[in-house]
Amino acid sequence: MLTFLCLIGIILFQLKQPKALMTQEYLVIALLLIIIVLGLFGNRVANVYGWTFIVLDIWSICKCFIAYFFGRLAFRPEFFSSQINGLVLYSKWVIGVLFLLLLVNLVYPIWPSTEIRMGIKTQYLIFPHATYLSATVFFCMLFLGLKNVRYHIPFLAMGGILIFFAARNKGLIFIGIYFFMLLFQHYAKKKSFKISYLILPVITLIASFWEIIDTRLLSSTTSARSLLYQAAFKIADMYAPFGAGFASFGSGSSVKNYSHLYDKFRFYEYYGFTRENPQYLNDSFIAMFIAQFGYIGTACFALILLIFLLMINRRSGRIQAFTLVLFLYAVTSLFTELYLTTSLGIITFFLIGIAFGDEKEKLRLRKDDLWKKPLH
């Protein structure tokens, strides 16, 4: 419902005071339309019908991009900059309260957990899953990095400890990336970070964790995500070049409808993949995309991600650091959850849109804005 209101807002704001889109943004819209057309053709090929589920799936995939364009078009230039002080204060409160709850829970487990990861007991605190704790703290740390970083070091340290006890591999990796970006901005002679600088670290990370990636996502016979990926590639081959279409595999609608493809691949024989207990059926956005839109649709989506990277590359300073880390966090999450269809994915792209709309930021940014206390 909230995303639908954002769509109405985009139309109204554009009618009242039109803003020009960048060429890359028109390309994003065009690629999304191609993906939708591929999905509809795939539905016919794979005999997946039920327009309610198909429309819900289209909406689910598009809503994060609607949130992006709402953030991009509905707010005045420098709106994001004007909200930074409030975001920083709010983030301090959130991290401070969560850290106190962590200390209490370590002494007296009000929110007990039986999950052990990396040798420590995973902490959920007030959240239903440790992923939400990790993501909430991570967002707050990003806001703290927007201004006067050295005055927020105690809160950044508390945030790092919270993410450590949440025991999410992804969260720990992005803590490292986040601090690297802050240090780069402080010491680099240039104010912008070239995306090409990421090529070597990314290759190194993939090579270092390839055994884990291969086991958990590709070749395992016991991993839930590996089962999804193996089936996704088979479906993409079966229904090439379109894929199986909307509401056919790995999406929320395919679970509600319990797609005939799950029966075809005998998913009902596996725990977490049955009609009664479908908790693992929608556990990867990328696996869903490969199956539903085939290799052409997946290539179109990869181009969309590349376009966003190029748009981030044109930014500088704190806006670039903020949007780059947010974007990388979202992309990594696509392999292990339906991130773009969740509230976290919508918030991520909404924030990127607002930050991109902060047009005057690049013109007036100075290198030391992040580290020096402003004069009042």
What's the domain range around 222?
Answer: 1-77+197-359
Same domain, 201 and 302: yes
**How much is the average pLDDT of 349-357?**
89
Q: Are residues 93 and 70 in the same domain?
A: no
Predicted confidence band at 362 (pLDDT cuts at 50, 70, 90)? very low
Last residue of one domain, picked from the residues 154, 188, 222: 188
Top pLDDT among 91 and 194 is at: 91
Residue bearing the bigger pLDDT, 23 or 293 = 293
Q: What is the pLDDT of residue 122?
A: 80
Q: Two tokens at 321?
A: 């650091």
Q: Is residue 364 part of a domain?
A: no
Shared-domain flag, residues 241 and 308: yes
Average pLDDT of the segment spanning 157-170: 83
Summarize pLDDT for 218-235 with one digit per residue, the tens: 666 667 788 888 899 999
User: At residue 366, does pLDDT exceed 70?
Assistant: no
Query: Is residue 186 pLDDT above 80, yes or no?
Result: no
Q: Quick one: average pLDDT of 283-309?
A: 92
| Residue 238 clears pLDDT 70, i.e. is over it | yes
Which amino acid is present at 10? Answer: I
- The reply to whether 348 and 232 lie within a common domain is yes
What does the mean pLDDT of the chain come to?
A: 81
Q: What is the pLDDT of residues 51-73, one digit of tens each?
A: 888 888 998 888 899 889 888 88
Confidence of residue 375 (pLDDT cuts 50, 70, 90): very low
Q: Extract the tokens encoding 54.
A: 């198909």
pLDDT at 110 over 90: no
Confidence at 280, pLDDT banded by 50, 70, 90: confident
Is 146 contained in some domain? yes
Give how far Cα 59 sits from Cα of 10, 36, 38, Å: 16, 10, 15
Please identify, among 150, 168, 188, the residue that sits at the C-terminal boundary of a domain.
188
117 has which bridge partners? 120
Q: What is the mean pLDDT of residues 120-127?
A: 80
Are residue 7 and residue 72 in the same domain, yes or no? yes
**What integer pLDDT is reported at residue 363 of this predicted model?**
39
Whether 57 and 247 have beta carbons less than 8 Å apart is answered as yes
Residue 368 lies in a domain: no
164 and 247 share one domain: no
Alpha helices in the chain (DSSP H): 2-16, 23-46, 51-73, 79-82, 84-107, 130-144, 153-166, 169-187, 199-208, 210-213, 224-238, 252-257, 260-264, 285-313, 317-333, 343-356, 361-364
- Please give the residue that has the higher pLDDT: either 150 or 157: 157
**Do the Cβ atoms of 49 and 246 come closer than 8 Å?**
no
Q: Is residue 119 part of a domain?
A: yes
Which is more confident, 49 or 116?
49
My answer on whether 117 and 264 are in the same domain is no
In a domain, 374, yes or no: no
- Interval 201-213: pLDDT, tens: 778 777 776 776 7
**Pair 203, 349 in one domain:** yes
**CA-CA-CA-CA torsion sign (333, 337, 340, 344):** negative
The burial class, CB within 10 Å (0-12 / 13-18 / 19+), for 28 is buried
pLDDT number for residue 9: 67
Answer yes or no: do 320 and 250 share one domain.
yes
Same domain, 300 and 216: yes
Within a domain: 252:
yes
Residues 349 and 220 grouped into a single domain: yes
Closest Cα partner for 178 from 210, 208, 149? 149
Could you check whether the bond before residue 18 is cis, i.e. omega within 30 degrees of 0? no
Asked if residue 365 is part of any domain, the answer here is no
- The answer to whether 307 and 24 are in contact (CB under 8 A) is yes
Q: How many domains does the chain have?
A: 2
Q: Bigger pLDDT: 348 or 319?
A: 348
**∠92-329-340 over CA atoms, to 5°?**
105
Angular region, 146: left φ>0, alpha ψ -120 to 50, beta rest: alpha
Specify the higher pLDDT residue, 184 or 374. Answer: 184
Q: 5 with 127, same domain?
A: no
Confidence at 364, pLDDT banded by 50, 70, 90: very low
Average pLDDT over residues 25-44: 91
- Residue 8, in any domain of the structure: yes
